Structure 1
């Protein structure tokens, strides 16, 4: 619990308790069950699946299936208005409203860990045991106490039981517990510094994965919670490579929190933007691992027909325009947008599988790569090019969307390259945004001449003409390449299609003064008996 957010916690969670009681009286089934801070799913002795959650006496519900499509409320472990007396020695002002429980079965015994908080920061975590989730429960007392003693999360690893816990004030810790008493063995280890909370811990292969929340919870659709994940080869850390796992908002889901995974189901809570921000349980079966990291939805693609080291134009599905380096620039921070196909090197990308994601480098700046500004995880963070740093801000998963289209997902933020506002305009900006499945987040990779072609892919003609320097301030050199005879007409248009400059020259090259033109973007069109060449240029 955050010291500056006590009121929000008490208000919203008390309101949640009332909401849960009203729902259980009127509705026994819903698309999303009510929940805040759900525990890991656990199966009872009668075969039903249970989840415990924040509420009076520790609120509980069960379902006959792992998707909780027919949930029903269950008895609370502690009678409403009653709680273990030891809590009063550690928590000031406790009134029986328990937070963020977690549960695990060891042998024939269920261990339920629960959070107790009241006025101010001091809090405690206790444990109760039972052989049936419906009770009776026997309280076993305090496990840990302190300013950050909330949000327990359990992991049984090769017969050894661990509990991670912590909150926004002090960060996240881990401790080993006895599998017979449920109490601590030895000391704790600090995993993550403050301004995080709600941990969840799982193991896959040789890695331990620690999930936790950043941002602020408990304010409905205004909550800034989002879930991140880091990994380590040692359960006690250090955990590195933090990346966004669940963004702050995706569709109607806002502020996801409290990771749980069991029975091939991921569980977490979210605030429902379609229902006044009420807290709900989300159950998903599309959780998996690829390349050493967890993912949701479609698995990151190996690229399908995309060949590592090949050169491609990257075409937006909604507009049929291509990803383009603004002004054909090659400086760090040069913007990336969409533009009509001009068959130039500003619009051709070398796509390379790094073994931990894909690098996309424009032919105009082969030492650079597609990059998210400042490695930001923010919605609308700009997409640009930057010198290759070999970090996750410059590595991308190519998520198969079917029909030859891919989502380009940042391995740093988990968000997708998105053409802003579904625009079809030349120059529409590329940003990152949570995955929507929209056509403005879908791209096809079409091989161009000189690339290593996947079988059956068409080859596009390679342009030999070029203009330089670009950007320029005074003059523009036009080189049509190859053997060229006869006259060439050239026209320079502004972005509104107005003719700003025109003329003609004989031979393969010419120099044109542009120092009288306003600063901005222009389209150069050259026509002769051999055909038409177009190129975008920038006057600065």
Structure 2
């Protein structure tokens, strides 16, 4: 679209305000990589510094996923249909995806952005669709895809996640608080709900996850991703946006579920709440900043030379000392031998500091020996300080190496329980500014996740004669 002179002047003034933001004020982020290797970040129209200079989905770019440059806005404010339906002053939680090459779409429709329009505490909401030939734009609004009304029971039409499953079927996973998380089938050619004729659909679709009204049904920001070996993991955010917000995971055989946690509890069973393992929650590492309320995550999957790939969790987090201030963080996402996703305790440090070759990740239990700084997410709604833990050359009780950084050892309750599944991998210690190892472990008996950073490696121990 071409801006009028007054609109262009507003845009220029807004860019001047945001020029130094970098990673700050990025909420509900999603990242993609273009064909040239540049990363593009899209996020909610929100600022911890006060009123926004304008609306239309914030866009940033980066060469390394560490340093971000504010690029502008995807759209010229809130599209007319979204504004008329919701009265929203800004757009939330964009999900940006590249349409697979196998799907015939116009050149300006290869990239899709599903944006949300609403207001706090209301489910008079809408998910809209915009398309572009490139993540940098230009973006063209195509209209509303899913709508909801506050006085009608059902899911809140925000927080879209577009997914293409292993059979080539397209889905829109969505929902926030109120009626839970649902999924609708999407027409690959148009990006609209199947059978809708390109018109807004009121939902609800298939129920994937929900929480009881006693906790305000506080589940949102869903993201479905394929598991190694088949099936899907569903990441969702629980609880209060400014304090106890945290990230949990369940898994199921397909995008549409049914989803359950590692203990077998159903994601739709409100009596079992809270369901899922906490993979990231508020915490503070010794000597570092406190990170509060991490969540509303997406996952960037990108190919690597040799045919492998890496996955990175992209999420927002708040400053524990000033919860109004938020920013984007990126962390490595790894999979246990049993197919559960876990994330690094250390934010992503970029090329030259991270090691992607899993063949070079720890291969023996002895490599885990030393003093670790650990954080255990026993309760996702708690802010947790780190603790110190010493690991000997023999590792935890019953520890065995499974290859490519994967390990397992006895369960936590007196040993002999269901195993702990762990992944150890090279990382960059952002507090001490040095290369080290990180580890993330899931107790499959309790569902408790512990993450750690090796702070004092032990010298190699010779085996006893």
TM-score interval, normalised by the smaller of the two chains:
0.5 to 0.7
SS in 2 for 1:370: coil
Report what 2:422 is aligned to: 397
Q: 1:370 aligns with which of 412, 415, 432?
A: 412
2:296 to 233, 247, 258: 258
Count of residues paired in the alignment: 347
Name the CA shift for 1:318/1:273 in 2 (closer, same or farther; >3 Å).
closer
Q: Does 1:150 align with 2:167?
A: no
Is 1:54 the counterpart of 2:56 in the alignment? Answer: no
In structure 2, distance between residues paired with 1:318 and 1:230: 27
Instruction: Give runs of aligned pairs for residues 282-321 of structure 1, distance below 5 A.
Output: 282-284=329-331, 286-291=332-337, 292-297=339-344, 304-305=364-365, 317=371
Q: Distance in 2 between matches of 1:35 and 1:414?
A: 29
The answer on whether the counterparts of 2:62 and 2:68 sit within 8 Å (CA) in structure 1 is: yes
1:140 alignment partner in structure 2: 143
Greater relative contact order (Cα 8 A, min sep 6): structure 1 or 2? 2
Q: Is the 8 A contact 1:153 1:199 kept in 2?
A: yes
Contact in 1 for aligned 2:30/2:42 (Cα 8 Å): yes
1:409 aligns with 2:458: no
Answer whether contact 1:246 1:414 (CA < 8 A) is retained: no
Contact kept, 8 Å, 2:438 with 2:452, in 1: the verdict is: no
When normalised by structure 1's length, the TM-score is 0.54
What are the ranges of 5 or more consecutive residues in structure 2 without an aligned counterpart? 1-10, 46-53, 102-106, 150-154, 196-203, 212-217, 263-275, 303-309, 345-354, 374-387, 428-434
Q: Give 1:124's match in structure 2, choosing from 123, 126, 139.
A: 126
Give RMSD over aligned pairs: 4.2
Give the 3 Å change call, closer, same or farther, for CA 445–166 of structure 1 in structure 2: farther
Residue matched to 1:272? 319
Q: Deviations over 1:460-515 (max 9, x none)?
A: xxxxxxxxxxxxxxxxxxxxxxxxxxxxxxxxxxxxxxxxxxxxxxxxxxxxxxxx
Unmatched segments (≥5 aa) in structure 1: 1-19, 308-313, 320-336, 342-346, 361-368, 372-384, 417-433, 447-455, 460-540
* Deviation for aligned residue 1:400: 6.3
The yes-or-no answer on 1:201 pairing with 2:224 is: yes
Question: Counterparts of 1:56-95 in structure 2 under 5 Å?
Answer: 57-67=55-65, 69-77=67-75, 79-80=76-77, 82-85=78-81, 87-89=83-85, 91=86, 94-95=87-88
2:19 is the counterpart of 1:28: yes
Offset, 1:181: 1.7
Distance 1:445 1:46 in 2: 43
Larger radius of gyration: 1
Q: Aligned with 2:84: secondary structure?
A: helix
Report the Cα distance in structure 2 between the residues aligned to 1:407 and 1:293, rounded to whole angstroms.
Answer: 14
Give the number of the structure whose residues are more often strand, by fraction: 1
Q: 1:142: how far off?
A: 3.1
Q: Deviations over 1:280-329 (max 9, x none)?
A: 11134x3333312223339898761469xxxxxx987389xxxxxxxxxx
Following superposition of structure 1 onto structure 2, how do residues 91-240 of structure 1 map, counting pairs within 5 Å? 91=86, 94-106=87-99, 107=101, 108=107, 109=109, 110-118=111-119, 120-132=122-134, 133-146=136-149, 147-158=155-166, 159-185=168-194, 188-194=205-211, 195-205=218-228, 206-217=230-241, 219=242, 223-240=243-260
